Structure 1
């Protein structure tokens, strides 16, 4: 068992404050996602799938059902049910892969895209505005820090 860590130095106190800030940030994200899930009448997995599809679409990437299953760490059977639900609600479409006629891709619908941006858009604007006073080097440090936190939790 790992013993409770107690800060002993100024550096330790700074690390503890950073961890508390990460916790507060993730709590705020959880509250935001909870509200949006409720507004959109979705569960957490449905919303996570839509967020993944939006991000991948912005990168110009196609998404297969297998990639959704992998990203969400769910079974292929659960992925099928998820995609059935999201298709039925008009949020996604299953389409033939543009280059491989045997494969299928999943695409977000225009309806879902509008709904997603209506609910997230204002928050995204406020988040971008909150970064205005940070230098490029500070933003690079934040990016590196959050990437390291993601890897530590993964």
Structure 2
């Protein structure tokens, strides 16, 4: 399928003027990013369905696995901050994930009251099974890029991520009409 077939020309653009030099190609890039985001969300939904968990649960498990790979130990407070949820919501989430066998809690040996959190072995295996084929194919696509292309993609996606994570600027005050 050609680029034009995937992205038929439109009479006007919602955000950008497609007649402006270079904007049309840049719009194609942003459309491709949007298509990938939709496909990525579908992939995560399939994993959630296969693991019988919701989106927040999946995010929590993936975060705990990432912490383990970085040789960091996660705590309930860390998980609350990562997920941007209250401590009460985190307690409920941890109870659910512990009961389902996805998370293991341990008492922190340095502080008898604090908890350390870990994804269970079965949680690692379920996630790996749910995403393995897809991740292998994604890796193959990344390996097919030249070194320069890999650097460009990393730069592009990191810059896009930084913008997406920026807090929204406050709205400009509007001037009231004089009576």
**TM-score, normalised via structure 2 length:** 0.79
CA RMSD of aligned residues (A): 1.6
Unpaired stretches in structure 1, ≥5 consecutive residues: none
The 10-residue stretch of structure 1 (125-134 or 23-32) with the greater mean CA deviation from structure 2: 125-134
1:57 maps onto 2:93 in alignment: no
Superposed CA offset, 1:3-62 (max 9, x none) = 732223342112211110110000001111111111111111001111111222111111
Q: Cα distance 1:89–1:137, how it changes in 2: closer, same or farther (>3 A)? A: same
Structure (1 or 2) with the larger CA radius of gyration? 2
- Size of the aligned set, in residue pairs, is 152
1:148 maps onto 2:159 in alignment: yes
Q: Extract structure 1 runs of 4+ deviating beyond 3 A.
A: 98-102
1:42 maps onto 2:35 in alignment: no
Which whole-Å CA distance do the structure 2 matches of 1:53 and 1:88 have between them?
16
SS at match of 2:123: helix
Q: What pairs up with 1:117-136 in 2 under 5 angstroms?
A: 117-136=128-147
Q: What pairs up with 1:3-42 in 2 under 5 angstroms?
A: 4-42=15-53
How far 1:141 sits from its partner (Å)?
1.6
| 2:115 matched residue in structure 1 | 104
**TM-score, normalised via structure 1 length:** 0.91
How far 1:137 sits from its partner (Å)?
2.2
| 1:70 matched residue in structure 2 | 81
| 1:88 matched residue in structure 2 | 99
More helix, by proportion: 1
